[in-house]
Chain A
Amino acid sequence: MEAQAASNQVMSTPEFSLDTIDIITPDHYQKNGYPHAEWAWLRKHKPVFYVERPRVDPFWAITKAADIMEISKQPKLWLNGPRLAIFVLDPGETALPPEALPLKHLLNMDPPEHGEYRAILSRYFTPRSIRALEPEVAKITNDVLNDVMDRKECDFVTEISSKVPVAVIAEMLGVPRKDWTMLFRWTNEIIGGGDPEFQRGENPTETFAQARMEMFQYFTDFVAERQKNPTNDVTSIIANAKVKGAPLPTLELLSYLLVLVVAGNETTRNATSGGLLAMIENPEQFRRLKADPTLIKSAVEEIVRWTSPVIQFGRTASQDTAVHGQKIRAGESVCLYYPSANRDEDVFDEPFKFDIGRDPNPHLGFGIGEHFCLGSNLARLELEVIFRELAKRLEYAELAGPVARLRSSFVGGIKHMPIRYQIKPASA
């Protein structure tokens, strides 16, 4: 038997205090990765925990899978609109009112509007529609691997894991290749504006404002072109869609595209990077996948459970209610911690074990209910192709330097992951 990697050890629960436990500061995530020890302690001692900390409006932290499911299943009681996620301001940063930099999209819409907007694209994201993209995704993946094949070291994030999702979503949207770098930069700035590496301007808000404005300008022209000359790309579908018989208002139209670019990029990239990291830390699991390619589907589910790239979304109670016996008043917000649900001892045997054969795997990595990730089938396809090709072509890989994490308590990012490796040519 091999020694298990440290991250596989059954979590010994250190003691925490409710006054000081940190599950929300971006610095903590950047320095230490996900606070799994803290979440495990909260699941055991305080599964519905009222968090009052500097520079963030108070909220209830929800850490048990069953509670997150119950909340997610009641989209009229628990609204997305008022507070989409829980953000902490940087020292000296002031919160802008939401109307200062408006976005209106699937993530912050509520019923019944949410369903009307989701229906515009849902049939393009079904397993059947997405399966048709498999040859294209395989070609993109193998091109990316071919580009680094003759080398022995690279940054897995900037040169491999980030390249596939941006290419796939750009192809779906019909964005020409010369503009892909720009899309990629905007994604980093919108999600990673809290990280100095991606910051433009004085603070995260300014970075977001700048990226949002540039993306809106870009898509305004692109949409006008697709309204004149529609093609079969997703931009054309949204540009010419109607809700209740009327074309989409400009804000809704541009926000829809912005969210597709951002959501289609960041999450899959981080699942890919985190997935390879898990394989490096658990080499027996990578050998298992190499030996038995039929494990690819359960391996992908386990990678999504293990990495849980979306850390949290918020919900706000539209009336007085209760969660896990705790009263919550109308107007108060909860924070749903998906990575915590995905290590919940009441749902998973050996939750801290990375097991690519885990089945069933009822993880909440894509959320559940009304707002269940629209792109889940695309993400699954991308991860299936990437790890299928890595299992075939990657002879070995090890870390060649420290893993650099994103400064964010919203999306769990790996910014850089230097690896030493050997990749062989694709077999004909």
Chain B
Amino acid sequence: MKIVIDPTLCEGNERCANAAPEIFEVRDDRAHLLIERPPARLLDKIRLAVRMCPRQAISIIDDDAQNN
């Protein structure tokens, strides 16, 4: 599982960092990833961050198969 933030959409609204502070941090008005490949136990929080992002800038890429 990989997390991607679309920099052309993100406006630094901080909803992701509120939902999943382990993964997202907002610096200089933009969201940044603290971990690009978070552990599966954080999936619920990440899904919440994806849902709460007002610009819908976050995606979860399920690429585990191709890594195996």
Partner of A372, one of B19, B51, B55: B55
CB A85 to nearest CB in B, in angstroms, measures 20
Say whether B51 contacts A362, CB under 8 Å.
Answer: yes
* Interface range, B side: 10 to 19
List chain B residues, Cβ under 8 A from A372: 54-55
Partner of A126, one of B11, B52, B56: B11
Within 8 A of B (CB), among A324-348: none
Within 8 A of B (CB), among A279-320: none
Say whether A360 contacts B55, CB under 8 Å.
Answer: no
Say whether A126 contacts B13, CB under 8 Å.
Answer: yes
Question: Is chain A's interface secondary structure helix, strand, loop, or mixed overall?
Answer: helix
Within 8 A of B (CB), among A120-142: 122-123, 126-129
Contact with A along B44-68 (1 / 0, CB 8 A): 0000100110111000000000000
CB A117 to nearest CB in B, in angstroms, measures 14
Within 8 A of A (CB), among B13-66: 13-14, 19, 26, 29, 48, 51-52, 54-56
* Interface range, A side: 20 to 34
Partner of B48, one of A127, A129, A360: A360
List chain B residues, Cβ under 8 A from A370: 55
Say whether B14 contacts A127, CB under 8 Å.
Answer: yes
CA distance A127 to B13 in the complex (A): 6
Say whether B51 contacts A377, CB under 8 Å.
Answer: no
CB A420 to nearest CB in B, in angstroms, measures 37
CA distance A360 to B15 in the complex (A): 11
Q: Which of B14, B29, B54 has the most CB of A within 10 A?
A: B54
CA distance A372 to B11 in the complex (A): 10
Say whether B56 contacts A369, CB under 8 Å.
Answer: yes
Contact with B along A365-394 (1 / 0, CB 8 A): 011111011001100000000000000000
Partner of B54, one of A115, A129, A360, A368: A368
Say whether B55 contacts A127, CB under 8 Å.
Answer: no
Within 8 A of B (CB), among A25-55: none
CB B44 to nearest CB in A, in angstroms, measures 11
A73 CB-CB contact with B under 8 Å: yes
List chain B residues, Cβ under 8 A from A122: 11
CA distance A282 to B23 in the complex (A): 37
List chain A residues, Cβ under 8 A from B11: 122, 126
List chain A residues, Cβ under 8 A from B19: 360
CA distance A393 to B52 in the complex (A): 32
CB A379 to nearest CB in B, in angstroms, measures 12
With A360-B48, A376-B13 known to touch, is A128 a contact of B29 (CB < 8 Å)? yes
CA distance A128 to B29 in the complex (A): 7
With A122-B11, A128-B12, A360-B48 known to touch, is A376 a contact of B54 (CB < 8 Å)? yes
23 contacting pairs across A/B (C-beta < 8 A): A73-B56, A122-B11, A123-B29, A126-B11, A126-B12, A126-B13, A127-B12, A127-B13, A127-B26, A360-B19, A360-B48, A360-B51, A360-B52, A362-B48, A362-B51, A362-B52, A367-B54, A368-B54, A368-B56, A369-B54, A370-B55, A372-B54, A376-B54
- Interface residues, chain A, CB within 8 Å of chain B? 69, 72-73, 115, 122-123, 126-129, 360, 362, 366-370, 372-373, 376-377
Other than the given A69-B56, A127-B12, A360-B52, 5 more pairs (CB < 8 A) read A126-B11, A126-B29, A127-B14, A369-B56, A376-B54
